Structure 1
Amino acid sequence: MNISHWLVRNAESKPEDPAIHFEDRIITHRELLERVEAFSAALADMGVRPGDRVGLYLSNSPEFLITRWAAIRLGATATPMNIMFQAREAQYVLNNATPSVLVTERSQLELVEQIWPDCPHLQHLVVTDAEIHGARSFASLEHEYAGRSVPIHECEPDGVSDLYYTSGTTGRPKGVMCSHMNFDSLLRFEQLIWDITPSDHTMVALPLFHAKGLIIPSLLATYVGCPQTLLRRWDTRMVLELIERNRITFFAGVPTMYAYLNAFENFERYDISSIRLCRVGGAPMPIELQRVFENRTGAAIIEGWGCTGWTGTSNPLHGERVIGSIGKALGQLHPSISCDVRIVDDEGRELPDGQEGEIVVRGEQIPKGFWRMPNKTASDYRDGWFRTGDIGRRDERGFIFLSGRKDDLIITAGFNVYPREVEEVLFTHPAIEDVAVVGVPDGDKGQAIKAFVVRKAGAEADASV
């Protein structure tokens, strides 16, 4: 099994159709496959073998996707790094994943040169947009290896295709091992529940170094064989222009992106009627923000839930959709999907509808564990279920409502309060643009609730809101 067969299928069935739109360039399915084949041959000559890691320290670009697919073709593991990592974090990831090859760009070179002496496994540096002494040029390698290829390495279904590091909000970044079966199942599920077809056109506005940016808009496009428009970085005006120009039908973003679009002063000037479906994730979607966007565009925002490398729930595209809910377990949305979600107590016992507890999930689309962290893997994967650390409840219809993170619980005067519950109330105030709620120490109550609020432009409000 190797998910890079998707590229071969697309190149054989629609060779001259667009695969990637990027800035002023269009890359066809045939060209994408040829460039992946050439770069995979280059990686092989640099000593990359099945099971090795290949580091990607890149912003959104065709070179990111080509490098990733080339590594996977070899049976190696693509290892993206957050371009916002500081030197300490980047060095930790490189020494934890131990790639022998790192592909990067000019903007990251100063940091890479700073940490390279302390990364003994790193042998080859490839730069995509510059000629640097001591590094290989991506363009020159493509030219040198044009027309060459290596066979696709067939992996075990649980072979690791991607190693995605979490943001490290609790301790150091953790490598999540995403497998070929994990992604093949997940993309099949998403195509089924969202009716994505080759006639769709997705926009990749999220960063590819984040699993949500790679999977939902980019891998989904490759899986179904539709074009994707790749944005190097977020720019609200450019997003609207590209939606209009390329007739984007599927947009995926985090709540902040929808807030930027809602607030853009010339929003109504753009024809974005081509969008039929929007996906939101990464953080809870404020109900009022969703209502405003849907009323202005007519497009449905489908809220779902998951974590690095997987999705567990989604609101249905057809039928009843509940705003404010993360939807139903994927297994409830289509009979061929094997994905179960439960609400459990601290002992792992399933709770009845209406009671809050930890959300656990199992299915083929779940990653296999954490890289070089057997104890963490054992504690989070129990009896076939992944313990997510998210708290929620399920109603009698099967819709699940997210309350917050287990670690975010505020206990004030003996009462359990989750930040999102307070945030949703504050979001209804007409003067509030954004809000974050935390617990702070309190001598009498144990913890008190504190809200950090951003006012809307031109709005007047004080602490009494």
Structure 2
Amino acid sequence: MTDDDSSGPFPYVTADEATDCRFDPRQGHANLAHWFVHRRCELGDGDRVALRVDVEGAQGTGTSSVVTYDQLADRVRRVASMLETRGLRCEERVLLAIPDGVEMAQSILGVVHAGAVAVMINPELDQDLLQHLLDESRARLVLTTTALRQRLEACERRFLLDVLYWDDPATQAAFERAEPRPEPFASHPDDAAIWLFSGGTTGRPKAVVQSHQSFVHTTRRYAHGVLGLNEGDVTLSVPKLHFGYATGSNLLFPLSVGASAVLFPERCTAQRLFELIERHRPTILINVPTMIGKMLSGEGVEQRDLSCLRLVTSAGEALPEELDRRWRETFGAPILDGLGTAEMWHVFLTNHPGDVHPGTLGRAVEGFDVEVRGDDGLPLADGQVGWLWVRGDSRAHGYWQRRERSRQSFRGEWVVTGDMVRRDASGVFTYCGRGDDMVKVSGKWLSPKEVENCLLGHPAVREAAVLGVEDAAGLVKPWAFVLLQEAAENAESDDSAATSRSVAEQLRQHALACLEPYKAPREVRVLDDFPRTHLGKVDRGALRRLARGE
């Protein structure tokens, strides 16, 4: 039988797998906690290492510990039991604001094991956004650490029953006393399991409601079908687990095959990443373009040993072709750049092992249909730029409490992502930008990514963001904001203002040399850093306000 056999509650699971893994919603085994953790124990992987937790200490010291599949399964059951004793009921939301580590992993899976819904957020969010997410989710419980206590205590608790702090002795005692809930809640494949938040660069994030079956579908299609994940793999991620890209790539994906994931709570830096690679020798690095650039910028980078990596994935933002080239020349490991959205949970367009096309998003993942359509919703010919439409079994239910926006983005079986792409005759897709980021100059459309790639070809530039800004006459012109490489930053510090002007002029001339004149940025601003969204993406709305002097 094929993966597309219709047997069992998950249509893409074979009849044999449905029997072996007890995929029966009437018995509680459509619950993703069963498929990703308890199933592995049933298959004999209980003694294998599931999680490798690395905590940084002072002066290069630190601690490292491991959690086996049996231990993780027990922890998941205890979390579920502890939450139920606090009054949690099925389908209620639990807000998770926890640094990466065993506590975050067991919380995600424990909430789902109990039949509730995990709402994962960045633990560093400010109080205003925290209050908004508490209200919007109507969370009944919060699992977090005492680092968030002051912000939480300043928030109104309109729906909360309790807040549990993992580093509080009282919570630890309750967790140890909890009688493990033996079986996961009898979830239906279509039940809500996890909320993800859209990574839009303007406005408040939208909550995307994802079901149990979404996670299994993409795991089989992308993690197994494209990445070829196996029990010998070790994953390491730059994004944190509250980001859907990492929830899959550095937790659920490795767990699904009996592999192990490296987790660390601190903010990611290039130096920390190199240390973790040296210590844990991961086989798959889950990366983003910003960190790829930083890893290539430090001194002595050529001496770093990354030979353990068989694959690197990149998502979250488009990977410039120049960065891809420099990475391959320096480290060798291929980068599989791809595109995913919260609305489809994870990656559905990607370069494949042995089929990498630098500067593109590669091809559609098997099990997903991807089309390029015009404003009228009709398919466009190859080579034309249009809206990206996608369908597949990981499609979300919609946006929470945003009916009109859901109608715009969710069209029957299809999701309209808001991204602009083009496809060539061989089925390879190229990213052109978000629809609301595309710039019309002199009556012609301009892709910010094209200009950004040009600027990144200059040796002084580490990162670039291009957007349209209205001039005094109300005409939209391209502006560029750049971050400089470390060497250029050091040179700039001698005479900051003068050097910034000089670099800006050099970059304008560089752009004119490699682009049509109307595409060259009219203004180039050198910044110390970019404003970022809650998911770490460049906040283009904030840059636009900066350009307007607001």
Fold match, TM over 0.5?
yes
Using the aligned pairs only, state the percent identity: 28
Indicate whether 1:361 and 2:390 are aligned. Answer: yes
1:150 to partner: Cα distance: 4.1
- What is the CA distance between 1:444 and its match in structure 2? 5.2
Contact 1:129-1:138 within 8 A present in 2 as well? yes
1:185-243 CA-to-partner distances (Å, cap 9, x unmatched) read 00111111111111111013311111112112221111111011112121322321221
Q: Which amino acid aligns with 2:53?
A: F
CA contact (8 A) 1:204 1:231 kept: no
Matches within 5 A, 1:197-276: 197-233=230-266, 234-276=268-310
Match of 2:162 in 1: 124
**Matched AA of 1:454:** L
Aligned pairs (5 A) from 1:329-340:
329-331=364-366, 338-340=367-369
1:282-317: CA deviation from partner (whole Å, max 9, x where unpaired) = 111111111111221110100111112222211111
Task: Report the AA paired with residue 377 of structure 1.
Answer: S
Aligned residues: 450
1-structure distance, mates of 2:379, 2:417: 14
Partner of 1:334: none
Take 1:290 and 1:179, find their aligned partners in 2: how far apart are those partners?
Answer: 34
3-state SS of paired residue (1:434): strand
Q: Verify: 1:7 aligned to 2:43, yes or no.
A: no
Q: How far apart, in 1, do the equivalents of 2:200 and 2:426 lie?
A: 35
The structure 1 segments of at least 4 consecutive aligned residues displaced by more than 4 Å after TM superposition are none
Q: d(CA) in 2 for partners of 1:194 and 1:96?
A: 36
Stretch of structure 1 that moved more, 294-303 or 262-271: 262-271
Q: Is 1:314 the counterpart of 2:353 in the alignment?
A: no
Q: Distance in 2 between matches of 1:264 and 1:395?
A: 36
Q: Aligned residue for 1:158?
A: 190
Instruction: Provide closer, same or farther for how the CA distance between residues 367 and 37 of structure 1 changes in structure 2, counting only shifts above 3 A.
Output: same
Q: Give the whole-Å Cα distance in 1 for the aligned partners of 2:287 and 2:32.
A: 24
Q: Check whether the contact 1:39–1:142 (CA below 8 A) recurs between aligned residues.
A: yes
Give the alignment's Cα RMSD to 1 decimal: 1.6
Instruction: Provide the C-alpha distance between the structure 2 equivalents of 1:54 and 1:273, rounded to a whole number of angstroms.
Output: 40
1:63 — aligned with what? 103
Instruction: Give yes or no for contact 2:456–2:463 (8 Å, CA) kept in 1.
Output: yes
Displacement of 1:148: 2.5
* Secondary structure, aligned partner of 2:78: helix
Q: 2:51 aligns with which of 20, 28, 33?
A: 20
Instruction: Answer whether contact 2:420 2:433 (CA < 8 A) is retained.
Output: yes
- Gapped runs of 5+ residues in structure 1? 132-136, 332-337
Task: Please give the secondary structure, in 2, of the residue aligned with 1:72.
Answer: helix
Deviates most, 402-411 or 4-13:
4-13
Runs of 5+ unmatched residues, structure 2: 1-29, 55-63, 492-501, 507-550
Contact 2:208 2:396 in 1 (8 A): yes
The match for 1:293 among 323, 327, 333 is 327
SS in structure 2 at match of 1:452? strand
Q: Using the TM superposition, give the Cα deviation of residue 93 of structure 1 relative to its aligned residue in structure 2, in angstroms.
A: 0.8
> Does the 8 A contact of 1:362 with 1:385 survive in 2?
yes
Separation in 2 of the partners of 1:34 and 1:86? Answer: 33
Q: Which runs of structure 2 are paired with 1:369-384 in the superposition (5 Å)?
A: 369-384=398-413
For 1:7 and 1:92, the matched residues in 2 are separated by 32
CA contact (8 A) 1:280 1:301 kept: yes
| Change beyond 3 A, Cα 1:167–1:324 | closer
Q: CA deviation at 1:393?
A: 0.3
Give the secondary structure class of the aligned counterpart of 1:4: helix
Alignment correspondent of 1:335: none
Give the equivalent residue in structure 1 for 2:208.
176
8 Å Cα contact 1:328-1:398 kept in structure 2: yes
Mapped to 2, the partners of 1:41 and 1:20 lie a distance apart of: 22
TM-superposed deviation, 1:264:
2.6
Residue in 1 that maps onto 2:503: 462
Amino acid at match of 2:38: V
- One-letter code of the match for 1:15? G
Equivalent position SS for 2:340: strand
Would the aligned equivalents of 2:370 and 2:388 in 1 still touch at CA under 8 Å? Answer: yes
Q: Which amino acid aligns with 2:83?
A: L
Is 2:227–2:353's contact at 8 Å kept on the other side of the alignment?
yes
Contact 2:218/2:346 (CA < 8 Å) preserved in 1? yes
CA separation in 1, counterparts of 2:324 and 2:103? 34
- What CA distance in whole angstroms lies between the structure 2 residues aligned with 1:95 and 1:121? 8
Query: Which residue of the partner structure matches residue 145 of structure 2?
Result: 105
TM-score, normalised with respect to structure 1: 0.93
